[in-house]
């Protein structure tokens, strides 16, 4: 029987997997709740809100709130809390977190990472937010999208600054954690379209990720998994150019079976089980099972990993993620 790691590699290479990859099983690492390497002293320079708790300011100075009952935290962009109100003044306002921390700052995080069985799973570092998300976290979504049109030179400069920070951050992750896999968040669209046309996306976003993902690949990272739970079928050729191995979060509006036929062998797809369809208050094992079976029947078992489209192992409503896992286990039996 193949290990979880081996089975995933057979799947994305179009080889001979002996079972379906079961969601995030091959990326189990150090965090019992989320399943990935999430803690580090660089991002730990800021704070994160708890569900229903008080808003907190992260290491970039962005204030996040997590209201009770909401699926996650999101930045506050009212007049009081918006970090960047004028893109032309970003050099005065935007300050990246320090990355040149001493070795002793990393030491408390190392024991559980050193205990990972890398023959069984990928030691997976969770990185968020991405380049586009960092931009709109600083200034708000409306201002961000408008600035691509109205102040392209300033947006290029800001993206270059964010990219340089992430490359410094990546160098520290590689130095201390030596990850086999990077799970990188950056949502690039809604459920029906990408936020940017492919030409604009290629101009502003692709060069940054070619540098970032190229750095990881040149420094021992075997897999790049990129999360964007959105429509992105029009961006898949650019994802391949960036160096993405697995697109996680591909919702059903992308026509995932068609993408597998067209691009399988160049990139693999992880998702096609939409949160919006099953991660609901009225969920049942039967409704989850129907969606899982439909997804596997549509997509097969090569270049495809059945998975909730959420960006990490879990669900908004307790039990949904585990129900999907159970249904995939049934199919494997």
pTM of the model: 0.96
The residue extents of the domains of the chain are: 29-69+87-120+123-221
What span, in angstroms and rounded, lies between the C-alpha atoms of 64 and 283?
29
**Residues 6+ positions from 38 with CB-CB distance below 8 Å:** 30, 31, 126
- Model confidence band, residue 41 (pLDDT cutoffs 50, 70, 90): very high
In the prediction, which pLDDT does 36 show? 67
Q: Give the CA distances from residue 63 to residues 59, 141, 144, 179, 260, in Å, rounded to whole numbers and listed in that order.
A: 10, 15, 17, 29, 39
> Is 185's pLDDT higher than 50?
yes
Q: pLDDT per residue over 235-265, tens digit each?
A: 999 999 999 999 999 999 999 999 999 999 9
* Cis amide leading into 129 (omega within 30): yes
């Amino acid at each position: 029987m193949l290990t979880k790691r081996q089975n995933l590699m057979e799947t994305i290479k179009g080889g001979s997997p002996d079972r379906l990859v079961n969601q995030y099983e091959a990326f189990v690492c150090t965090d019992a709740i989320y399943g990935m390497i999430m803690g580090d002293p660089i991002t730990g320079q800021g704070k994160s809100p708890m569900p229903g708790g008080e808003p907190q300011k992260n290491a970039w100075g962005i204030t996040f709130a997590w209201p009770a009952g909401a699926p996650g935290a999101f930045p506050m962009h009212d007049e009081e809390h918006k970090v960047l109100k004028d893109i032309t003044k970003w050099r005065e306002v935007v300050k990246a977190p320090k990355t040149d921390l001493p070795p002793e700052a990393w030491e408390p995080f190392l024991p559980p990472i050193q205990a990972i069985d890398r023959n069984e799973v990928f030691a997976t570092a969770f990185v968020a937010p991405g380049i586009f998300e960092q931009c709109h976290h600083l200034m708000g979504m409306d201002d961000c999208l408008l600035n691509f049109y109205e102040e392209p030179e300033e947006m290029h400069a800001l993206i270059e600054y964010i990219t340089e920070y992430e490359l410094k951050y990546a160098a520290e992750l590689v130095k201390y954690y030596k990850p086999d896999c990077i799970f990188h968040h950056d949502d690039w669209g809604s459920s029906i379209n990408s936020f940017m046309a492919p030409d604009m996306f290629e101009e502003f976003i692709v060069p940054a990720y070619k540098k970032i993902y190229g750095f990881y690949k040149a420094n021992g990272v075997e897999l790049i998994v990129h999360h964007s739970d959105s429509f992105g079928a029009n961006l898949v050729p650019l994802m391949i150019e960036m160096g993405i191995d697995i697109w996680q979060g591909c919702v059903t509006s992308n026509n995932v079976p068609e993408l597998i036929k067209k691009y399988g062998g160049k990139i693999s797809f992880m998702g096609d089980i939409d949160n919006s369809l099953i991660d609901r208050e009225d969920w049942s094992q039967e409704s989850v099972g129907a969606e899982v079976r439909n997804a596997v029947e549509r997509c097969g078992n090569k270049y495809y990993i059945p998975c909730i489209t959420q960006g990490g192992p879990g669900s908004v409503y307790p039990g949904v993620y585990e129900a999907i896992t159970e249904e995939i286990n049934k199919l494997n039996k």
